[in-house]
Amino acid sequence: MIASLSLILLCQLIAEVVVRGLGLPMPGPVVGLLLLLLLLLARDRFAALARGPLQGDGVEGASRGLLAHLSLLFVPAGVGVVQELHLLAEHGIAILAILAVSVVITLLATVATFLAASRLLTRERETP
Amino acid sequence: MSDNPFSLWVYLSQSPLLWLTVTLLTYAVADAVSRATRRHALANPVLHSIWIIGAFLLLTKTSYTTYFGGAQFVHFLLGPATVALAVPLYENRKVVAAVILPMLVALVVGSVTAIVSVVVLAEAAGLPRTIILSLAPKSVTAGVAMGISESLHADPSLTAVAVVLTGIMGAIIVTPLMNRTGITDFRARGFAAGIAAHGIGTARAFQVDTVAGVFAGIGMSLNALVTSLLVPLAVTLLVR
């Protein structure tokens, strides 16, 4: 468990060092995700890597544990709303309406594009 | 035993212990209620935890900084949790590889829509420039969005609130919206939830369907990448 958590933190740490060091315009945790993914894929290819947290259900189990309560992690940032009450009193209705409309448009645009593109691309693959 | 109950409160209200406990306890109750309603969209545990804790802070006149002293331990886990998304992605790599192209097209369209729609609407509503800039990155996960907001000299704490509000609204609306429009492909539904409503949408997607959750996680991570590149560009083009 400790080794698995350490591995997750280590991936994030290395990613932060790389991102800051090279001045990349990417968030550290996302690069950390890529690192962990590459590590898991490499483990399947090279048996020598399958040790410690990379064997059994080590890092997999720890990750599932973290993700099981993903929404809890947004609570502290959300409570920050108490600092913005003056802004919300003035523009609250407009901000809420804009965010609601934008999220609906985004959901529909994404889902429609995904379905249209997958239909189009699978048809192309079937035709020849 | 303290001779003055008030001095005990003064001591506790400044300690991380109290606010960490309040955060976890409130969420545990909100989550139990959500489970009791069989994960009804309106029983969203984030939404209810936020207003309950917020009201408690206002009633006890506790500053957000003091609260965050305790809650930061939970907030910190956002980063490792993003890294942990590698695991469901790895476990479902075959499902994902099969639709990699449509996913990338939907990613670009979704990401651009999320940014452009909010900026255009906010301009039309005549909101001040700082607010428009703070709302622009609202569809990506909190840490990333706050970083973008900072680099635009906007208001990162307003951005954090916009991010969480967007996530909650997306999580509440996604299931009824997709059912109403008759979309049954859980890969597409989950992916859209991750693009539009980041981690809160992803948490919601995992509650509804595992495949949806995996695609939401991918959508959320890819969107974090794309949005950090697109927001500065969109702002230069769209904001006066």
Q: Which domain holds residue A23?
A: 1-68
Give me the domain span that covers residue B218: 81-240
Coil, strand or helix at B99: coil
List chain A residues with CB under 8 Å of B75. Answer: 73, 76-77
Shortest Cα distance from B1 to chain A (angstroms)?
32
Q: DSSP letter at A25?
A: S
The complex's ipTM works out to 0.88
Mark whether B19 and B68 lie in a shared domain: yes
pLDDT at B3: 64
Tally Cβ neighbours within 10 Å of residue A86. Answer: 9
pLDDT in tens, A11-39: 999 999 998 899 877 778 888 988 999 99
Write the DSSP symbol of residue B140: S
Which chain A residue has the Cα nearest residue B140? A27
Contact B224, B199 (CB under 8 A): no
pLDDT in tens, chain B (240 residues): 556 778 888 888 888 999 999 999 999 999 999 999 988 889 999 999 999 999 999 999 999 999 999 999 999 998 899 899 889 888 888 888 888 899 999 999 999 999 999 999 999 999 999 999 999 999 988 878 888 888 888 998 899 999 999 999 999 999 999 999 999 999 999 999 999 999 999 999 988 888 899 899 889 888 887 887 888 888 888 876
Q: How many domains does chain A have?
A: 2
A64 and A87 co-located in one domain: no
Alpha-carbon gap, residue B50 to B45, rounded angstroms: 9
A45–chain B nearest CA distance, Å: 14
Closest CA to A97 of B101, B36, B165, B48: B165
Tokens of A42: 């490499």
How far away is chain A from the Cα of B7, in angstroms, using its nearest Cα?
25
CB contact under 8 A, B167 and A74: yes
Residue A109 lies in a domain: yes
DSSP string, A8-64: HHHHHHHHHHHHHHHT-SS-HHHHHHHHHHHHHHHHHH-GGG--GGGSTTHHHHHHH
Q: Are residues A96 and A41 in the same domain?
A: no
pTM of the model: 0.86
